[in-house]
Chain A
Amino acid sequence: MAKLNLNRVPMPRQDPKVRGRNFNEVALGYSLEQAQEEASRCIQCPKRACVDGCPVEIDIPGFINAIREGDMPEAVRLLKDKNSLPGICGRVCPQETQCEATCSLAKKGAPIAIGRLERFVADWERANIGAATSIDSPKPTGKRVAVVGSGPAGLTAAADLAKLGHSVTIFEALHVAGGVLMYGIPEFRLPKDIVQAEVDYVASLGVKLELDSVIGKLVTIDELLNSGYHAVFLGTGAGLPMFLNIPGENLNGIYSANEFLTRVNLMKAYRFPEYDTPVKVGRRVAVIGGGNVAMDSARCALRLGADKVYIVYRRSEVEMPARREEVENAMEEGIEFKLLTNPKQMLGNEQNWVVGMECYEMELGEPDDSGRRRPMVKEGSEFIIDVDVVIVALGTRPNPLIAQTTEGLETTRWGTVVADEETGKAVKDKVWAGGDIVTGAATVISAMGAGKRSAADIDEYLRG
């Protein structure tokens, strides 16, 4: 057997000092040579352990082999066969806990950089439009499906259903399609023209996009079903922000992460006043939370020009739910982590502006329901952090607009919609659901997986 090559080809990145002040993408992407070098490390194991780690079961050894052989159209075809949004997944999938975790070379500490290769193929396709073989247009079935929400779950379900010959319309509440990919995840991690290209691809399959359409208000699910849609897929995500419910939380300068990120990413407030929507930049910014959303908020605040940005998290570094890579990026850029710290109250001045955040120090006790050690307040440990902007990134729940206006749609006490794990079938007749609306805030690829499984089940039902 040939000797294993354990040298992962590193990803070229913008210098931390430079990138901390711009919104350009941090990771710069492989060149063809770098991609082929990384691809040639793959030993093409017959057990295909990597595929087990991918929620949408991409033929990973297959597309990697195509890269090695320089057959890029084939690599594109193999990828797109399972994943309509490779340019996105290659960038934001938590590969380290998925495909790269199960790769045979992970045991040796040097899994194949599958995400980076996936990204490379997607970027190649964008740069060489039309080079990859196009898919034959399917035979129309005459069935109509309404997809509500244009995040990764909705886009995937719509693409798969369109490929099977169904007539699909996506209804999206915002003025832009893409869900969290557009309004949440910042430009420097996921450029918006890449998301737009993937949305355009889905539209090119014949999917109709109805933007500015708030389902539950403009039309209800029942009205959609009564107006000729044979099935409805709900992929409306988990967009309702949670707050801490502590004193002072409505002071000026305190944002939910959703509001802050929406202003910056969707409304392009980082280009104010060229774009009309403002955002308070802040000199000293505290972001509360330890997930991807918190990292993104902190790194946006820094790029807008804040002098000092803190992450305030009540547990320790090992419990942080954010991707390792993003935590490291944030640290490199100079964001200060205040761990084992939890806010007690927000302090304001006479103009109702936040000026400080009183916090407790925390310590970790016995493991709680989530399996992580429970953070407990250290009595008498209060201290104050001076701030002028606070961003609350504590997680989100599904927006109740649809559940409130749809009879027979069962929800849990967290507001998530009850749906079969395998098929996405909701309790209500002719309705499926998947993505964050079912699982609560999760990942892009799990939302896509759910969209895929629902599309398959809807197809079976429509042909039934």
Chain B
Amino acid sequence: MYKILLAQDLVPNIHLFKIAAPAIAEKAQPGQFVVIRIDEIGERIPLTIADWDRDEGSVTIVFMEVGTTTHKLALLQTGDFIADFIGPLGLPTHIEKFGTVVCVAGGFAVATIMPIARAMRQKGNKVISIMGARNKGLIFWEDELRSVSDQLIVTTDDGSYARKGLVTEPLKELLEGEEKVDRVIAIGPSIMMKFCAKTTEPFGVKTIVSLNPIMVDGTGMCGCCRVSVGGVTKFACVDGPDFDGHQVDWELLFARQRIYLDEEKRSFEQWQRSIHR
């Protein structure tokens, strides 16, 4: 059992948990993830490691409520336990001195891109971050991300805060600007990552995305997480989750993310009935 040292709501549907997991904290690197299972009947789901504290022996995750597991998770509080917390999984993000790195984050990924932006900066890169949310109410960690970036651009889809529009717009302007962009890291909803990759492709700037196919074990044992990159089948949990966004077969990823739509709906409805009883 793994103890929740801190449960915090960042915005109404995005939550931060600090979990006691000293061995994982010891090894965690930017871009890696954990697989968690809440209880005996729970599903195994992957979540990115948003931060870690080796002295305290804790690992931080930030998650958005989308279906049964994430809604159940959101009900837990400081001091509660979850059954399983497995990691660190996946290959770490490739960190190197590239020059100027643009980090683009959408939704919950503002948290998960933090350790990457921080590590890129520590390596001596100039880090320009772009964070986007649907509206003002969903903005969190603006100051935190600014503190690890040389420059921060904020967008909201509806213009209720900062710049109106999608993250791809300032991204495109940066690519067109004076300054050479050497690498782009885009993390967030799949559709956002796809359009970031499409935006950078004409400029030939290598763009790393963190893919989020459905997973089970997260150790290369089931093949559920297969994605196609450059025409080759890869297991995202062990060969990724980072891949070259220009090589990813996005349509395949979107299709495979929808395999269980019917079951997810059924499961969620049943769970809602059970808690309203």
* Interface residue ranges, A against B (CB under 8 Å): 173-175, 211-214, 217-219, 239-241, 243, 245, 249-250, 252-253, 255-256, 258-259, 262-263, 267-268, 272-278, 280, 351-352, 399-401
Contacts and interface: CB of A to CB of B under 8 A. Distances in A.
A241 B84 contact: no
Majority SS at the chain A contact face: loop
Interface in B57-85: 68-69, 83-85
Nearest to B256: A252
**Top 8 A-B residue pairs of the complex, sorted by shortest distance between their CB atoms:** A278-B263, A352-B255, A259-B222, A276-B43, A256-B223, A239-B221, A175-B84, A212-B86
A214 B42 CA distance: 20
Contacts of B259: 252-253, 280
A278 B219 contact: no
Contacts of A255: 223-224
A400 to B, nearest CB: 8
B223 A218 contact: no
Contacts of A211: 84
Given A250-B252, A272-B267, A401-B220, 20 more contacts: A173-B219, A175-B84, A212-B85, A213-B86, A214-B86, A214-B89, A217-B27, A217-B219, A218-B23, A240-B221, A250-B226, A259-B222, A263-B216, A273-B267, A273-B270, A275-B41, A278-B264, A278-B267, A280-B259, A351-B258
B228 A399 contact: no
A256 B37 CA distance: 22
A401 B90 CA distance: 10
B140 to A, nearest CB: 27
Interface of B: 23-24, 27, 37, 41-44, 68-69, 83-89, 216-217, 219-224, 226, 228, 233, 238, 251-252, 255-256, 258-260, 263-264, 266-267, 270-271
A392 B221 CA distance: 14
Given A252-B256, A278-B260, A399 B220 contact: yes
A322 B263 CA distance: 33
A243 B233 contact: yes
A250 B86 contact: no
A263 B43 CA distance: 9
A173 B217 contact: yes
Contacts of A239: 219-221
9 contacts: A212-B86, A240-B220, A253-B259, A256-B222, A259-B223, A274-B41, A276-B69, A276-B267, A351-B258
